[in-house]
Amino acid sequence: MVERAYGSMVIHQRDQSDVIEAGRLILNSMQAKQDDRQPCRVQWSEIIRGMTPDHTVLINRQERRGSMILPGQSMFIPETEPAGYLERTKSPANMARAISTTMCVF
């Protein structure tokens, strides 16, 4: 994942083998390997429980792409390094619970 100064790229395709092959071709063109990537570290995280109606209105005003947080729900706020690994913090355990993850870029 390349981020910040260089931007990032996300590849979507119904057939995962096409995505894997695209990634392999991109890495080959960069003369890089998947093992060259920087390891993910969670620098900080917090769970805000019992969101108030006022806070949910403010949060839902941001571009949430159809994902809304409702009063009473919890919100998980992680900070990862590199930031591109934020999706890795959405573990199956957290996704099974009613926890909304938000991305904060400073």
71-102 residue pLDDT tens: 998 888 888 877 777 666 565 555 555 555 55
Hunting for tokens 């006022």 — which residue is that?
A: 54
Please determine, for residue 2, whether its predicted confidence score (pLDDT) is greater than 50. Answer: no
For range 48-62, the mean pLDDT:
87
Q: Where does the pLDDT of residue 25 fall: very low under 50, low under 70, confident under 90, or very high at 90 and above?
A: very high
Both tokens of residue 91? 């573990």
Question: Which residue shows structure tokens 């590849």?
Answer: 11
Clarify whether residues 59 and 90 are in a common domain.
yes
- List the CATH number of the domain containing 55: 3.30.70.1710
Specify whether 55 is located in the same domain as 23: no
Structural domain including 28 reads 1-37
pTM tops 0.85: no
Interatomic CA distance for residues 80 and 39, integer angstroms: 10
The angle formed by the CA atoms of residues 66, 71 and 74, to the nearest 5 degrees, is 80
